[in-house]
Amino acid sequence: MTSSNNSSGAVTNALDERRIWIDGCFDFAHHGHAGAMRQARQHGDELYVGVHNDEDILLNKGPPVMNLSERMAAVEGCRWCTKAIPNAPYVTDPKVMDKFKCKYVVHGDDITTDKDGKDCYAEVKEMGRFIVVKRTPNISTTDLVGRMLLFTRDHHMLTIDETQWNDWFTGNHSRLNDKKNILTPNNVERYEQYATGPDAKSLGVSVHAFTREGKLHELVKGLPIDGANKIIYVDGGFDLFNPGHILFLKEVRQIANERKAIVLVGLHDDETVNQIKGVNYPIMNLFERSLCVLQSKYIDGIVLGSPFKVTREYLRNIEETTKSSVINIFHGPRSIDDESYDDVKELVEFVNVQMYKDMNVASIVNRVIANREAFEERQRRKGWKAEKEKELEEIERSG
């Protein structure tokens, strides 16, 4: 970072073109937020992430589902975030960017408005300090809240089987374009992007696919970790990826570092989660859930469609594929399901996360249901704002 003298003779720190700013609500740690941070990180060497407070979100958008401390934990856990900044103003303020020496702010190719329907980025756009990236389609906090209120299951995806894997592996992609399939070309491209390292460009973490027939395949190759030939395995649904999940993985990461092991996370398919949880769970489908976990700085790899029952045969499959040995299975604070771990109980250890220990999918859904009227009003306001934002986008394109 350089310094320069101003007219009064005082020394001031110049803005750093390689330190990028991005801001937002970041309500729920969904992959749209992670995608924005990933693209922003590609424009610099550091990424500073401003997080709006609860009061500003309520005023400009409607009630957030997650509070500021919960949203901060989610942002801080993203592999591409350098530093998370709380209480960032809802309307992007260049003076705040200056305080953190960030020359440019990154935002998606859509327009975000405040409570009065004004572009939140108008000032920085006029200053030439605005970088546009592609907005992640088909996901938003509003979408997720809608699923909770309407109890829909249309978003669920098919379990990966050998036919789907072989179609992908042999290049017969024409049969994979059904939106219910995980292994479409667009989805695999997204896995490759979200698996990148802290610079959002180089090799990062691995992605494996476990098929209904019981075979494990490598979908995305991760960066080899020197001296790490041991695995700590974690599995679950990881629905509505939240601070409870994130701090659990953070503690597992610390233990893995002490034992010189990598962290491999198995995610159950939608059919399995629905059989266990019922109703319209999971709220996020496997593709969405896996991208949420994949962006975490606390993991080294994921398994798509991992089995609910962990067997010795499944662990041998992991070891043969990764050329590493599974030394532990870590589990959260609840009691172990005998059916799930009966075959490998000698490998299981507990991790008790005290902070956010009572947070789970049901508690988050209950927040929305308990405040149904407020969230339905938020959905209506989103419709009005969307129309206004569309008008502004047309004006911007024509101008």
Helix/strand/coil percentages in the chain, nearest 5? 40, 20, 40
CATH of domain 17-137: 3.40.50.620
Pairing of strands 11-13, 3-5: antiparallel
CATH of domain 155-359: 3.40.50.620
> What pLDDT, on the 0 to 100 scale, is given for residue 31?
78
Residue 187: CB atoms within 10 A of its CB come to 19
Residues 148 and 369 sit within 8 Å (Cβ to Cβ): yes
> What pLDDT, on the 0 to 100 scale, is given for residue 320?
94
Retrieve residue 272's tokens: 């399995």
Residues 316, 313: Cα–Cα separation, whole Å: 5
CA 290 to chain centre: 8
Residues 242 and 66 sit within 8 Å (Cβ to Cβ): yes
Half-sphere exposure of 264 (CA within 13 A, CB side): 28
Asked if 17-137 and 155-359 have one fold, the answer is yes
Retrieve residue 395's tokens: 């004006």
> What pLDDT, on the 0 to 100 scale, is given for residue 3?
38
Can you give the length of the chain in residues? 399
Identify the band that residue 256 occupies on the pLDDT scale cut at 50, 70 and 90: very high
> What pLDDT, on the 0 to 100 scale, is given for residue 399?
59
pTM higher than 0.85 for the full model? yes
CA angle (106 as vertex; 381, 13 as ends), nearest 5: 130
pLDDT for residue 383 is more than 90: no
Residues 112 and 120 sit within 8 Å (Cβ to Cβ): yes
Residue 374 DSSP one-character state = H
Identify the band that residue 11 occupies on the pLDDT scale cut at 50, 70 and 90: very low
Residues 82 and 47 sit within 8 Å (Cβ to Cβ): yes
C-alpha distances in Å from residue 100, one per residue of 47, 69, 78? 11, 20, 19
What is the residue whose two structure tokens read 């299975």?
329
Identify the band that residue 281 occupies on the pLDDT scale cut at 50, 70 and 90: very high
Give SS3 for 181: coil
Beta bridge partners of 208: 218, 303
> What pLDDT, on the 0 to 100 scale, is given for residue 4?
37
Residues 110, 45: Cα–Cα separation, whole Å: 25
What is the residue whose two structure tokens read 């790899």?
301
> What pLDDT, on the 0 to 100 scale, is given for residue 131?
97
> What pLDDT, on the 0 to 100 scale, is given for residue 238?
95
pLDDT for residue 157 is more than 80: yes
Q: Where are the beta strands (DSSP E) in the chain?
A: 3-5, 11-13, 16-24, 46-51, 83-86, 102-108, 130-133, 206-210, 216-220, 230-236, 262-267, 301-304, 325-331, 348-350
Give SS3 for 242: coil
Residues 49 and 72 sit within 8 Å (Cβ to Cβ): no
Identify the band that residue 179 occupies on the pLDDT scale cut at 50, 70 and 90: confident
Decide which of 370 and 50 is more confident.
50
Percentage, residues of the chain above pLDDT 90: 65
Extents of the domains making up the chain: 17-137, 155-359
Give SS3 for 338: helix
Q: Which amino acid is at 281?
A: Y
Residues in contact with 226: Cβ distance below 8 Å, sequence separation at least 6, in sequence order: none
Q: Which of 81, 8, 63 is nearest to 368 (CA)?
A: 63
